[in-house]
Amino acid sequence: MTMNEDTVKGKWLEIKGEVQKAWGKLTSDELDQTKGDAKAIAGLVQQKYGENKDQFDKKYSDIVKRFEGARDSVTDGMKKNLKS
């Protein structure tokens, strides 16, 4: 799985909230201990939900992509303003 690590680091609190919505049994403390590491989060999900890696990857990727798209649109807007 290739995630934009900068997106995860920069938006961790928001992503963490979405992860908790998707997998409600995960506690804030457990997620904080992962420090946003997808493999560690996948391990927690597997322990608590029995989801396999592919199921996790798909759901987690969708969450992170939402934040990557938001960041890209803000960056594009800033670039347009600088050119003006």
46 occurs within a structural domain? yes
Number of domain units in the chain: 1
Cβ atoms 41, 63 nearer than 8 A:
no
For the cut 50, the answer to whether the pLDDT of residue 78 exceeds it is: no
Count the neighbouring beta carbons within 10 Å of the beta carbon of residue 64: 21
Contacts of 4 (CB under 8 A, 6+ apart): 64, 68
pTM over the 0.85 mark? no
Cβ atoms 8, 72 nearer than 8 A:
no
Q: Which domain holds residue 28?
A: 5-77
Q: What is the CATH number of the domain that holds 46?
A: 1.10.1470.10
Average pLDDT over residues 24-30: 96
- 64 vs 82: which has the higher pLDDT: 64
Q: Which amino acid is at 81?
A: N
**Percent of residues, the chain, with pLDDT higher than 70:** 77
- 69 vs 60: which has the higher pLDDT: 60
51 occurs within a structural domain? yes
Give 29: exposed, middle or buried? Use CB within 10 Å, 0-12, 13-18, 19+.
exposed
